[in-house]
Amino acid sequence: MDMQQQIEQVRTRIQRAIAHSYVDRYIQPRMIDEDRISFALSMLRSAQVEENIALDYVFAMMLIQLALDTHDEVDEQQISQQKQLTVLAGDLYSGLYYDFLARRHDISLIRRFAEAIKEINIQKIRLQQLSSNDLERFHCIAVIESALLRQLAEHVHAHEWGELAYYLFALKRVHREGAKSTALMNYIDHCQRKLQDLLPFHAYEEVKERFSHLLV
């Protein structure tokens, strides 16, 4: 399969796995980040991971990402039933990931992803304690956005791709922020310079093309 076919297969597989007629009536449809899927598949191809195994790894990783994103959507303004269902949906996606990898007997990857989840939660708490002008918040954002990909990179011994994910997905996140402070603009410039050094050596053309708008 080519890259787009693999992305579509992962997307379809996720949509089927998380479909729940009752929950879907009350919470917004899940947004599946194709940039993450594409990056992870390119990384695994670079590490010469078999296609079927790579698709399984990315499927599991994206279930966790959806679980984390869904828990982040819980809003104090939501009515009680909707809030409870949003939390339960996140728990459901987490359970699907654990069940899938447990059936594969892939304990080492479960440990890797568990470490990533711990990292992400620590940095989310830290982020709440920092002001918008605190430079440390950019590190928190980078860890939150890249931890799953970095742990997957370590699992397949593609260490340089972990560094690439750290800067690339931090840059993607901060680009979405509205007002651009001086600190934010300086951080964007820092990430772009790091990526100009890393991308030529460690990424396939589809990765460079997909993220090219972030480097301008």
Question: What domains appear along the chain, each with residue ranges and CATH number?
Answer: 3-215 (1.10.600.10)
This prediction has a pTM of: 0.85
Which of 169, 160, 119, 117 is CA-nearest to residue 142?
A: 169
C-alpha count within 13 angstroms, C-beta hemisphere, residue 47? 23
Quick one: pLDDT at residue 51?
96
- Burial class of residue 62 (count of CB atoms within 10 Å of its CB; 0-12, 13-18, 19+): buried
Give residue 21's pLDDT: 47
CA 73 to chain centroid: 15
pLDDT at 183: 85
Cα 110 to Cα 115: distance, rounded to the nearest angstrom? 9
Give Cβ neighbours of residue 78 (< 8 Å, ≥ 6 apart).
Answer: 86
Low-confidence ranges of the chain (pLDDT < 50): 21, 76-77, 79
* Predicted local distance difference test score (pLDDT) of residue 214: 84
8 Å CB contact between 169 and 149: yes
Q: Return the biggest CA–CA distance within the chain.
A: 50
pLDDT at 213: 84
Residue 198: what pLDDT?
Answer: 84
